[in-house]
Chain A
């Protein structure tokens, strides 16, 4: 009981600190950031709770009627109140496909950023804390990695997966292939940032104090160094999320990403592209706009976070 009360008090204390702190203050002072945060939150919440939020389930074949295809948005003539943003060639509601598409886009985005973060932080910490040959080897690998553009790596891994794995199998592993492809092209950034910060922190006296006490290196890295290098990592992660969503969309647009059976925003844009000049513009424009708004909002958040976490700009 006492321990629980203590934990609750600590949480309350931490919350009070946060709402009293400079970051929350800077947040409340910029309307653009509040709007960006609200938009991002809307996307995330509706993506997570897609089955509850979306008017229809576009992947439930039973609920799709081909007769509903090519209905324009509701405010146009021939619009149907059931489909707010109109329907596509198969009679699926655009709004619903966007919500389910964002779910996949954000899912791939979060997962690949997480993958890149864990890999990058681990390699960066090791590199920065131990230095020497280990550092040199990791950083040369990072250099090589940087010479390939992200899309190229993604295409390579995707192609490899398709060649090696049986065709049917791809339908099940595409998610991991995408996460691996996008994540691998991001880790260098984390590794370099963490390495730089870790090298600075390693020489600070509180880390030396921990060494004098006799704390093992792994624990020093996790307990002392890591929490103090997370600031810049969070900034990169936020901005990377936007890039990951775009990369996924690009790959899907090129046809090497998410399969048509469970379309992401990128797939939707590609599919809609075919109808752009035949008059059914809404099939591609709305997913495109959704993607642009999401990426812009996340990017603005990332930029703000960078400034808010940088004491020099406060």
Chain B
């Protein structure tokens, strides 16, 4: 999508600004195979020109099916990958301009990450207190042992565990408790921006509710800003202020969560919403959509979604759509631009947040 508008005056201040972000992975066979067997270089466009803004204190979610590049965006923003193209600015600071460790450290402190797999995200050989204290020590926030121990106890209490749990090892905890430990570690350096990569998708639903409630509470109490990655639309609806829908490395639609869920524009967004299981037993049938996500190594021409789109025409096959303003935010779809889509009936989503 070309560009997401900066927040209008009067709205909350933008904390995170991502512009035309792209990441291309080289997945070529080894040099020897290329030389001997004449194989070609292969590139995977995991993220291809994504732009968005996250206002301070809000939650922006990226949603999409596996392989759409949403986790790659998270890792780019947090600095685990270097972007092939585009800029990431946190509070106005361009991340690419920071070269030395000393320059990066103060920014690092302000953003932290929560991972998907609570069984892999904690070093199995470290005690919980050591795990949580690592960011405090690394950033030199405190040096006194007793002070650190106190802070660790405070963090454990904050995420709903007991200070005494710090003496235990990760394997003594359930998946949900481990995710709490992970959150405590992320909070240890007093960050203001948390990148959450599918933080609840490995958890059971009742535990997922605990973690989502905890995350909402922490956001309220600490004024945190979230970039939330998920494939679960219901979770995204529950936690987000703004939502971006990704398909094969591109943002196809983004906007205010409620407005977007109420009147989805892009055919892919509509399809995703139709595929949500009906738990209210209204008798609505899921509309199975034909086809599957194609390989990101050789994505379809034009609009990546055209082979699965019931409204695709010649233009969709040849020309990548540009972003258009919508009620909720923006959409990239020729059919919307040409007004070819059947009007989508408003979904059972309240227009305004109650309260």
Contact = CB atoms under 8 A, between A and B. Distances in A.
A and B in contact, CB less than 8 Å:
yes
Interface of A: 204-206, 208-216, 224, 227-228
Given A212-B80, A213-B189, A214-B138, A205 B117 contact: yes
Contact of A205 (B105, B108, B115): B115
Nearest to A225: B123
B104 interface: yes
Given A208-B80, A208-B115, A224 B123 contact: yes
Nearest to B116: A205
5 contacts: A208-B113, A209-B113, A212-B80, A227-B125, A228-B123
A214 B111 CA distance: 11
Nearest to B108: A214
Contacts of B134: 210, 213, 215
A205 B111 CA distance: 16
Nearest to B117: A205
Given A204-B121, A213-B189, A214-B138, 17 more contacts: A204-B120, A205-B115, A206-B121, A206-B122, A208-B80, A208-B113, A209-B182, A210-B123, A210-B134, A212-B78, A212-B80, A212-B108, A212-B112, A212-B113, A213-B138, A214-B105, A228-B123
A213 B117 contact: no
Given A213-B134, A214-B139, A206 B123 contact: yes
B223 interface: no
A55 to B, nearest CB: 46
B101 A214 contact: yes
Interface size class of B (residues with CB under 8 A): 20 to 34
A214 B138 CA distance: 7
A33 B138 CA distance: 44
B67 interface: no
B258 interface: no
A209 B101 contact: no
Contacts of B135: 213
Given A209-B115, A211-B80, A216 B121 contact: no
Given A211-B80, A212-B78, A214-B101, A206 B120 contact: yes
Highest count of chain B CB atoms <10 Å: which of A206, A215, A216, A227: A206
**Which secondary structure dominates where chain A touches chain B?**
helix
Contacts of B277: none
A213 B108 contact: yes
B124 interface: yes
Contacts of A213: 108, 112, 134-135, 138-139, 189
B185 interface: yes
B79 interface: yes
Contacts of B138: 213-215
Contacts of B109: 214
Interface string B55-84: 000000000000000000001001110000
B104 A214 contact: yes
A2 to B, nearest CB: 10
Contacts of B79: 212
Given A209-B185, A212-B108, A228 B121 contact: no
Contacts of A227: 123, 125
Contacts of A206: 120-124
Contacts of B80: 208, 211-212
Contacts of A209: 113, 115, 121, 182, 185
A113 to B, nearest CB: 23
A52 B131 CA distance: 47
Contacts of B185: 209
A269 B242 CA distance: 80
B124 to A, nearest CB: 7
B334 to A, nearest CB: 38
B113 to A, nearest CB: 5
Contacts of B117: 205
B97 to A, nearest CB: 17
B237 to A, nearest CB: 26
Nearest to A206: B123
Contacts of B123: 206, 210, 224, 227-228
B139 A228 contact: no
Contact of B124 (A211, A216, A228): A228
Nearest to A219: B138
A292 to B, nearest CB: 37
